[in-house]
């Protein structure tokens, strides 16, 4: 063999060795990536399986997961025969007002009775109302045209639309350019 041919063979052998090393590195990276994917899949699969009580607490030496998954709390089972929680003072008061109004035949709809009880609440504390006082207040009480809830809803809508309702102007901006032009046009046309 000639010297030129020997040099070419040697160069090709070097390139083959380099390509083999590069291929080995790529295969190693691919194997690691595939192992990570498999570990994630196994981790997800074990999270969905119910945990048995017989499994040991010690972690396996071959376990490659970075941390142990958190266990979900079991849903609390309610006893249907358990006693209910005591009603608060407002509920007791509204039940008393409802019963009193029904007893005397002046009860309206449930919503009206709650509105009436709310009106009473603003005047005195719950426990200071005598039955006779409640009945005399009911005789002079008129149902509000708009409930507090409807009023609050309309107020919120008005606030979100801004100055369209005319209640409050926007802060800090002053009149817009269009408004100034319109005012100038109106001023020029006498």
pLDDT band at 178 (very low <50, low <70, confident <90, very high): low
> Which pTM was predicted?
0.40
Residue at 40 is within a domain: yes
Name the domain count of the chain: 2
What does the block give as tokens for 14?
């070097």
Residue at 5 is within a domain: yes
Residue at 183 is within a domain: no
Residue at 136 is within a domain: yes
What is the 3 state secondary structure string of the chain?
A: CCHHHHHHHHHHHHHHHHHHHHHHHHHHHHHHHHHHHHHHHHHHHHHHCCCCCCCCCCCCCCCCCCCCCCCCCCCCCCCCCCCCCCCCHHHHHHHHHHHHHHHCCCCCCHHHHHHHHHHHHHHCCHHHCCHHHHHHHHHHCCCCCCCHHHHHHHHHHHHHHHHHHCCCCCCCCCCCHHHHHHHHHHHHCC
Residue at 128 is within a domain: yes
Last residue within a domain, chosen from 46, 61, 81: 46
| pLDDT of 163 | 47
| pLDDT of 119 | 86
56, HSE (Cβ side, Cα atoms, 13 Å) = 4
Residue at 64 is within a domain: no
pLDDT digits 0-9 by tens, 13-66: 998 889 898 888 999 998 888 888 888 878 777 666 555 554 444 444 455 556
What does the block give as tokens for 151?
């009023």
pLDDT band at 175 (very low <50, low <70, confident <90, very high): low
Last residue within a domain, chosen from 120, 140, 160: 140
Residue at 79 is within a domain: no
Structural domain including 120 reads: 89-140
Last residue within a domain, chosen from 108, 125, 140: 140
What is the C-alpha separation between 73 and 48, in angstroms, rounded?
14
């Amino acid at each position: 063999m000639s010297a030129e041919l020997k040099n070419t063979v040697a160069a090709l052998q070097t390139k083959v060795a380099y390509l083999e090393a590069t291929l080995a590195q790529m295969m190693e990276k691919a194997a690691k990536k595939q192992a990570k994917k498999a570990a994630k899949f196994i981790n997800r699969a074990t999270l969905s399986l119910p945990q048995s009580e017989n499994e040991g607490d010690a972690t396996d030496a071959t376990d490659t997961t970075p941390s142990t998954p958190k266990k979900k709390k079991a849903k609390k089972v309610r006893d249907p025969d358990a006693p209910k929680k005591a009603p608060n003072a407002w509920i007791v008061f509204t039940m008393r007002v409802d019963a009193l109004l029904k007893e005397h035949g002046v009860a309206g709809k449930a919503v009206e009775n709650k509105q009436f009880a709310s009106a009473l609440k603003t005047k005195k504390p719950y426990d200071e109302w005598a039955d006779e006082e409640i009945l005399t207040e009911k005789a002079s009480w008129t149902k509000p045209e708009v409930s507090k809830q409807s009023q609050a809803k309309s107020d919120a809508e008005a606030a979100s639309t801004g100055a369209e309702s005319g209640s409050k102007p926007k802060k800090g901006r002053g009149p817009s350019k269009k408004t100034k032009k319109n005012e100038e046009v109106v001023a020029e046309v006498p």
